[in-house]
C-alpha cells in the first residue's frame, strides 16, 4: 500500500518513494496522473475525522470510520471518496484552513519530580480547550521528556481527565531528564533533541504543553528555540521558578511540612528534646521558611542564609535558660554552614561528598554537633517524599485550574513561547526566554525573613 506524504494533508503518512502511478480504489481507479513533482500516492486510512464541510468532493465525517483515497501531487490532492468524483483541492487554501479551524492537536508532558497538583493543572488545560472547541486531540507523552524522545505516547480521552482534580501525582508519569544531558546521544544512539522534534512533527502538534520545574523549563525553552510551539506551566514544591510569585504544588507541600512540625511539638514538649525536622529544598528555602513559620519552629536554617553552629547552639541554650524544655529546628535539606559557604567550588564539592558519606543528610550532622556542644538530646525527623504526595490542597486546586485555563486561552489564540505565571495575584504570560535558567532564591533581606527574626526566630546567622 502506498502512503500519502504531502506536508499539508489532513492525514500524516511516511514519504512515498514509489515511481508507479496506478492507484486502485473502491469502485474504480486513478490512472496516469501527470508527473509534476511528488509521485502520486494513495492514503488508505481509518480514523475519527474532525467535523468539516465538504471541500470539492473531499467529505470528512466526525466519529465515522471509513476509507478514502487521496493522490498527492505538488500543491494539489486528487480525491475519490464515497460522496463524489475526483477533484483537485488546493491544500494551502482549503484543507489547511479547514484543519486549522476545526482541529487542535496538543501534546502534553509532565517532567521532573511530581507534586500534588499536576493532574489538576492538566485538567484545567483540557477543560478550557474542550469548552472552546469540540475538535481537539490531546496526546500524553509518558514519563516526561523520555516519552517525547522515544515516541511513547497515547491519545487521551475525556474520561482520562474526569475525577482527577483531587488526585495527586500525574496520570501520564514523570521522569528526570537533565538539561546537561539533552545533547548527549540517547540509549539507542539517537540525537535526543532531534528525536523530540521528530515526534512532535510526526503527530503534527499545534502545541506542546510542558509541566515542570526549573530543569524542565530549561529544556522547554530549548525546544522553543528549536522552533516548537511551547507553553510551560510552573510546577514545583520549592517555589523557586523565576518570573512567577507562586508555583502549583508549593502550598500543598507547605501544609504537609507544617503538619509534620505540628506533630513534633507534642512529643518534643513531652520529652524535653530538641527536634530537627528536615524539609525539602536543595537550593532554595522557600518551603522551609514558610513551613517553619507556620509550624512555630524556633530555628530555621535555609541554603540562602549559611548558619554558624555556635549561634544555633546559643539559640538552643537561650531557650533552655528561659525555661523552655524543647527546641524545634526546621532545616532545609540544602542548608549549609558558613564554613562551607566560604569554600570555592572544588572544595565545596569535596565537603558535600564527605558529608554524604558520613551522614544520611545535613540534619544528622547538625544533631551530632548540637549534642556535642550543648548536651541536648536531639532527634531527627524527615517527612521526605510525603511532602510531594497526597491530594492537592484547595488553594492549589484553584491555582492550578486558573493556570491551566489561562494556558488554554493562549493555545486558542496561538500565542506560544510563554510560561503561565501568577504575578501580583494575577495570571499572566511571561516569555520563556526571560525566565528559563534563572532561580528565584530567598533574599536574606526579604520582609518575611526580617519579620520572623522580629518574633525571635533564629536563622543561625
Q: What is the CATH number of the domain that holds 305?
A: 3.40.50.460
Q: Are residues 269 and 208 in the same domain?
A: no
Tell me the mean pLDDT in the region 165-169: 93
Mean of the per-residue pLDDT values of the chain: 82
Confidence grade of residue 42 (pLDDT, cut at 50, 70, 90): very low
Q: Is pLDDT at 89 greater than 80 in this prediction?
A: no
Asked if the structure places residue 5 within a domain, the reply is no
Q: Cα separation of 142 and 125, whole Å?
A: 17
Q: Cα separation of 182 and 282, whole Å?
A: 22
Q: What is the CATH number of the domain that holds 431?
A: 3.40.50.450
Asked if the structure places residue 338 within a domain, the reply is yes
Q: Are residues 31 and 141 in the same domain?
A: no
Q: What is the pLDDT of residue 272?
A: 83
Asked if the structure places residue 453 within a domain, the reply is no
What's 228's DSSP letter?
Answer: -
Q: Are residues 66 and 139 in the same domain?
A: no
| Cell numbers linked to 238 | 520549592
Residues contacting residue 323 through CB under 8 Å, at least 6 positions apart = none
Q: Is pLDDT at 216 greater than 70 in this prediction?
A: yes
Q: Are residues 107 and 245 in the same domain?
A: yes
Domain that residue 373 falls in: 250-389
Cα dihedral value 347, 350, 355, 358, nearest 10: -140
Q: Are residues 139 and 40 in the same domain?
A: no
Q: Are residues 377 and 286 in the same domain?
A: yes
Question: Is 344 labeled as catalytic in the residue annotation?
Answer: no
Q: Is pLDDT at 83 greater than 90 in this prediction?
A: no
Q: Are residues 97 and 118 in the same domain?
A: no
Confidence grade of residue 12 (pLDDT, cut at 50, 70, 90): very low
Asked if the structure places residue 306 within a domain, the reply is yes
Q: Is pLDDT at 88 greater than 80 in this prediction?
A: no
Cell 535539606 sits on residue:
333
Q: Where are the beta strands (DSSP E) in 271-368?
A: 274-279, 299-301, 327-332
Tell me the mean pLDDT in the region 322-336: 94
Q: Is pLDDT at 392 greater than 80 in this prediction?
A: yes
> Chain centroid to CA 403: how far?
12
Cell 572544595 sits on residue:
347
CB 237 within 8 A of CB 252: yes
Q: Cα separation of 249 and 227, whole Å?
A: 30
Asked if the structure places residue 126 within a domain, the reply is yes
Coil, helix or strand at residue 277: strand
Q: What is the pLDDT of residue 287?
A: 97
Confidence grade of residue 342 (pLDDT, cut at 50, 70, 90): very high
Q: Cα separation of 32 and 423, whole Å?
A: 62
Residues contacting residue 264 through CB under 8 Å, at least 6 positions apart = 275, 277, 328, 381
Identify any residues that bridge with 430 across adjacent strands, giving them in sequence order. 419
For the chain, what is the domain count?
A: 3
Q: Are residues 330 and 218 in the same domain?
A: no
Tell me the mean pLDDT in the region 314-325: 92
Q: What is the pLDDT of residue 306?
A: 97
Note the residue count of the chain. 461
- Burial of residue 14 (number of CB atoms within 10 Å: 0-12, 13-18, 19+): exposed
Q: Are residues 127 and 212 in the same domain?
A: yes
Model confidence, pTM:
0.77
Q: Are residues 195 and 108 in the same domain?
A: yes
Mean pLDDT lowest among 177-191, 273-287, 291-305: 177-191
Q: Which of 389, 411, 427 lies at the terminal end of a domain, its last residue?
A: 389
Q: Which of 101, 127, 144 lies at the terminal end of a domain, its last residue?
A: 101
Q: Are residues 129 and 264 in the same domain?
A: no
Coil, helix or strand at residue 139: strand
Q: Cα separation of 11 and 204, whole Å?
A: 9
Which residue in 238, 240, 298, 396 is the catalytic one? 238
Residues contacting residue 21 through CB under 8 Å, at least 6 positions apart = 31, 32, 33, 35, 39, 40
E strand or H helix that includes residue 234: strand 230-234
Asked if the structure places residue 322 within a domain, the reply is yes
Q: Cα separation of 319 and 315, whole Å?
A: 6
Q: Are residues 112 and 240 in the same domain?
A: yes
| Cell numbers linked to 282 | 536543595
Tell me the mean pLDDT in the region 201-217: 95
Per DSSP, helices labelled H in 338-421 are 338-341, 345-358, 362-374, 394-412
Asked if the structure places residue 68 within a domain, the reply is yes
> Which of 279, 235, 266, 271 lies closest to 387, judged by CA?
279
Q: What is the pLDDT of residue 101?
A: 53
CA 232 vs CA 218, 327, 339: distances in Å: 10, 42, 38
Q: Is pLDDT at 13 greater than 80 in this prediction?
A: no
Q: How many C-alpha atoms does 168 have within 13 Å on its Cβ side? A: 17
Q: Cα separation of 132 and 266, whole Å?
A: 52
Q: Cα separation of 306 and 336, whole Å?
A: 5
| Cell numbers linked to 385 | 517524599
Q: What is the pLDDT of residue 93?
A: 53
Q: Which of 80, 101, 122 lies at the terminal end of a domain, its last residue?
A: 101
Cell 487521496 sits on residue:
70
Asked if the structure places residue 460 within a domain, the reply is no
Coil, helix or strand at residue 67: coil
Coil, helix or strand at residue 29: strand
Amino acid at each position: 500500500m502506498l502512503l500519502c506524504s504531502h506536508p499539508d494533508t489532513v492525514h500524516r503518512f511516511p514519504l512515498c518513494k514509489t515511481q508507479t502511478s496506478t492507484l486502485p480504489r473502491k469502485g474504480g481507479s486513478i490512472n496516469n496522473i501527470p508527473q509534476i513533482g511528488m509521485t502520486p500516492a494513495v492514503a488508505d486510512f481509518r480514523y475519527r475525522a474532525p467535523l468539516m464541510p465538504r471541500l470539492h468532493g473531499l467529505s470528512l465525517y466526525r466519529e465515522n470510520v471509513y476509507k478514502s483515497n487521496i493522490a498527492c501531487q505538488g500543491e494539489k490532492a486528487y480525491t475519490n471518496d464515497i460522496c463524489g468524483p475526483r477533484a483537485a483541492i488546493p491544500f494551502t487554501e482549503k484543507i489547511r484552513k479547514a484543519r486549522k479551524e476545526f482541529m487542535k492537536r496538543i501534546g502534553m508532558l509532565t517532567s521532573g519530580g511530581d507534586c500534588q497538583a499536576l493532574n489538576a493543572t492538566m485538567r484545567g488545560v483540557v477543560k478550557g480547550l474542550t469548552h472552546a472547541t469540540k475538535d481537539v486531540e490531546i496526546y500524553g507523552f509518558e514519563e516526561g521528556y523520555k516519552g517525547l524522545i522515544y515516541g511513547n505516547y497515547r491519545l487521551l480521552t475525556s474520561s482520562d481527565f474526569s475525577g482527577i482534580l483531587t488526585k495527586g501525582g500525574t496520570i501520564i508519569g514523570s521522569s528526570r531528564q537533565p538539561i546537561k544531558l539533552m545533547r548527549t546521544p540517547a540509549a539507542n544512539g539517537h540525537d535526543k533533541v532531534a528525536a523530540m522534534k521528530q515526534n512532535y512533527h510526526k503527530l503534527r502538534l499545534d502545541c506542546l504543553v510542558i509541566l515542570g520545574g526549573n530543569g524542565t523549563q530549561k529544556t522547554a525553552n530549548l525546544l522553543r528555540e528549536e522552533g516548537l510551539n511551547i507553553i510551560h506551566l510552573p510546577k514545583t514544591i520549592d517555589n523557586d521558578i523565576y518570573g512567577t510569585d507562586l508555583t502549583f504544588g508549593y502550598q500543598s507541600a507547605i501544609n504537609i511540612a507544617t503538619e509534620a512540625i505540628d506533630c513534633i511539638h507534642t512529643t518534643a514538649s513531652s520529652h524535653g528534646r530538641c527536634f530537627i525536622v528536615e524539609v525539602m529544598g536543595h537550593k532554595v528555602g522557600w518551603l522551609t521558611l514558610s513551613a517553619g513559620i507556620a509550624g512555630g519552629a524556633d530555628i530555621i536554617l535555609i541554603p540562602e542564609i549559611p548558619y554558624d553552629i555556635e549561634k544555633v547552639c546559643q539559640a538552643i541554650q537561650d531557650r533552655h535558660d528561659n525555661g523552655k524544655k524543647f527546641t524545634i529546628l526546621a532545616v532545609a535539606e540544602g542548608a549549609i554552614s558558613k564554613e562551607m559557604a566560604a569554600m570555592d567550588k572544588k572544595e565545596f564539592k569535596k565537603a558535600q561528598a564527605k558529608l554524604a558519606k558520613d551522614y544520611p543528610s545535613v540534619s544528622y550532622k547538625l544533631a551530632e554537633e548540637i549534642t556535642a556542644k550543648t548536651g541536648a538530646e536531639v532527634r531527627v525527623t524527615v517527612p521526605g517524599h510525603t511532602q510531594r504526595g497526597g491530594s492537592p490542597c484547595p488553594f492549589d486546586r484553584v491555582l492550578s485550574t486558573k493556570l491551566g485555563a489561562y494556558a488554554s486561552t493562549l493555545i486558542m489564540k496561538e500565542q506560544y513561547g510563554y510560561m503561565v505565571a501568577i504575578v501580583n495575584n494575577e495570571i499572566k504570560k511571561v516569555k520563556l526566554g526571560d525566565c528559563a535558567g534563572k532561580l528565584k532564591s530567598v533574599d536574606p533581606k526579604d520582609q518575611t525573613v526580617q519579620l520572623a527574626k522580629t518574633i525571635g526566630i533564629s536563622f543561625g546567622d
